[in-house]
Structure 1
Amino acid sequence: MADPDLTHLAQVGTEIAIRVTPKASRNRITLEDDQIRVYVTVLPEDGKANAAVQKLLAKHMGLAKSRLALIRGATSRDKVFRVD
């Protein structure tokens, strides 16, 4: 299954709620029941998984990763990013 096109979310002020699965077999993004799920291969330690999620999400949205800010869920699997 191909990764979903998320470029329509790349507008300033958009908040994106996602569910993260760390230690996955490969990096990917899926849409399941209208919920964006992000799978990353890194461990959830020292913010490494958050950085990997930010990078992957920005890539699929066509943005620089510096334009995505984590506003909720730094230590949770449920996270909210905002486009700045």
Structure 2
Amino acid sequence: MPAFCRLAENGLALFVRLTPRSARDAIEGTAETADGRCHLKARVRAVPENGKANAALEKLLAKQIGVPSSAVSVAGGATSRLKTVEIRGDRGELLIRLRAIAAGQ
């Protein structure tokens, strides 16, 4: 299992570092924090006001992974750059898609 995710009740939980107000919406691979925690790097054009950046992140991840937007939700870190995002679905299929996304960046 990639270090940027863990098993969740109905799917997977991802650790994401979000940069709002970017020039484009994109997932830019993986990185590590100073304390050694691994996460996906993501950028969105939306501003971090009234949950707009979180909603844009959910939409971006849903599109990239190929799941409905309703299957993706920010579960932790709503006002932080480091977020926990839960994705509901078949764990095996989600892992295959996440590995492809992380490797292709």
TM interval, short-chain normalised = 0.7 to 0.9
Q: How many residues align?
A: 73
What residue ranges of structure 1 are gaps of 5+ in the alignment? 1-11
Tell me how far 1:35 sits from its aligned partner.
2.8
Aligned-residue identity in percent: 38
For 1:16 and 1:32, locate their aligned partners in 2 and report how far apart those are by CA, in whole Å.
Answer: 11
What residue ranges of structure 2 are gaps of 5+ in the alignment? 1-9, 32-37, 89-105
Report the aligned-residue RMSD: 1.2
For 1:32 and 1:82, locate their aligned partners in 2 and report how far apart those are by CA, in whole Å.
Answer: 17
Match of residue 18 from structure 1: 16
> So what's the TM-score if we normalise by structure 2?
0.65
For 2:70 and 2:61, locate their aligned partners in 1 and report how far apart those are by CA, in whole Å.
Answer: 11
* AA at the equivalent of 1:13: G
Higher helix share: 2
* AA at the equivalent of 1:41: R
Cα deviation code 1:27-78 (max 9, x no counterpart): 1111133531110011100000000000001100000010012110111101
